[in-house]
Amino acid sequence: MAIEDDVLVIGGGVAGATAALAAADRDARVRLVTYKQSTLRHASGLVDILGYTPDGDGPLVDPFDALADLPEGHPYERVGAETVRDALSFFDDVAGEAYAGGHTDANALVPTHGGTVKPTARYPVSTAAGLASDPRDALLVGFETLPDFEAPLAAAHLEAAGAPFETRGVTLSFPGIRRDDAKVTRYAHLLDQDETVETAAGTTTAREALADAVRAHLDGEPRVGFPAVLGDEHADAVRADLADAIGADVFEVPMGPPSLPGMRLEDLLYDALENAGVAVTSGVPVIDYETDGNGRIDHVVVDRHGAEIPHRADQYVLATGGLVGKGVRSERERVFEPIFDCHVEHADDRYDWFVDDVFGDQPYAQFGLAADRDLRPLDADDEPEFANLRAAGAVLGGYDYAAEKSGAGVSLATGYAAGRRAGAEDGD
């Protein structure tokens, strides 16, 4: 017997979760199926709409000013600026007090672990006190066992980039952790639970020990930045306790993978899915599909521990990611979408998929599905592949999310648009 829903979303990242939430908001019966662990744990947790134009101009102060000039086929051009705004408002409702930035159209400049600043539209509250537009001096704190964040180097890069404040960096020993292969979740858990640790001064708690170590290096700076390991389930309490004990505002600097802010965003979205009544089936790859003979997908087949289970829906949303997430794949002779074999435009000669300049505009960076304004994937003749399939997120082509700093924003806007339209058309 086939499992039946109104809307079936394939993919569990920002685009897939947003699509499922948006469809559920239209009172549709929604299921999200996902094979592998979400790539959110590799993400910064920042929601970037547009940091740079496709021509490289930026960083942009107001991303919405640039949306009207994006080329035809760009995902934002497909959905329109108002939908981007609506999607941000939808995210604000879902995120609640966990994210900041909703008071303005302007990008915020958030320092990252490399000492660069990233233009972003929404950012975790844990990063709010560290914005580069804040003129207050800052002390950056790194840890000997966490080499991914070199605080002195990050501080030097910030000053070289023209940050409007003085910043210093120090490297300390993290209380209770001596191994340099400890997972970031271990740092967070130690602070979450405020575990007892041994220091040169005696036995104390992890939060107090960390605050004591930082105070010894503070030179009047009104804010202190740490790598993003300051708790998980109780992150707000960890930051508040550290700020009180240190006597300065405390903020986190987003890190590379694995990323606690990304994990927190994943938890936020999946809690929202549960609250919205979305059925989530994880660990199941979609391995096949059948059509109804009239240009519509009748059902897909998932592999559940070797058993082939059909899932039928009236509408489908494909949000499986791009080349990194394996939602788009390449072989020596072709580039393709592996579930429905949707068309991916690319040069016949694979040597035209890239340019020699490593910093140049790489054609492969824009590989993905072309879509109509209803986000239905198009075939080689610009006709919809299927009447009841939409695509969202990095599986779409026509943009370079890394160069534009637009990845999370495109996932959010197209996921919202695809989910809303799929939910509205259920039963039509």
> 369-411: per-residue pLDDT in tens?
999 999 999 999 999 999 999 999 999 999 998 899 999 999 9
**Range 263-270 average pLDDT:** 95
Are the C-beta atoms of residues 304 and 319 closer than 8 Å to each other? no
Are the CB atoms for 184 and 177 separated by under 8 Å? Answer: no
Query: Which of 13-17, 39-43, 296-300 is least confident?
Result: 39-43
Q: Give percent of the chain above pLDDT 70.
A: 96
- Tens digit of each residue's pLDDT (9 = 90 or more) over 44-82: 899 999 999 999 998 999 999 999 999 999 999 999 999
With 80 as the cut, is the pLDDT of residue 350 above it? Answer: no
The residues facing 231 across adjacent strands are none
Number of residues in the chain: 428
Mean pLDDT of the chain: 92
What is the band of 340 on the pLDDT scale with cuts at 50, 70, 90?
A: very high
How do beta strands 196-199 and 117-120 pair? unpaired
For 219-246, b/e burial (b = at least 16 CB within 10 A) is eebebbbbbbbbbbebbeebbebbbebb
Share of the chain above pLDDT 90, in %: 76
The pLDDT score that the predictor gives to residue 357 is 66
Q: In this predicted structure, what is the pLDDT of residue 281?
A: 92
Residue 124 pLDDT: 96
Q: What is the mean pLDDT of residues 328-348?
A: 87
Domain 113-253 sits in CATH at 3.40.50
Residue in the structure block whose two tokens are 């590989």: 367
- As assigned by CATH, the class of the 3-99+262-425 domain is alpha beta
Domain ranges within the chain, ordered by starting residue: 3-99+262-425, 113-253
> Each residue of 354-369: pLDDT tens digit?
767 666 677 667 779 9
Q: What is the pTM for the complete model shown?
A: 0.93
**Torsional sign, CA 25, 26, 27, 30:** negative
Question: What are 93-144's pLDDT values in tens digits?
Answer: 999 999 999 989 999 999 988 888 999 999 999 999 999 999 999 999 999 9
Q: CA 335, 302, 392 angle in degrees (round to 5)?
A: 50
Residue 428, pLDDT score: 47
Strand-pair partners of 290: 299
CB 178 within 8 A of CB 251: no
What 3-state DSSP class applies to 226?
A: strand
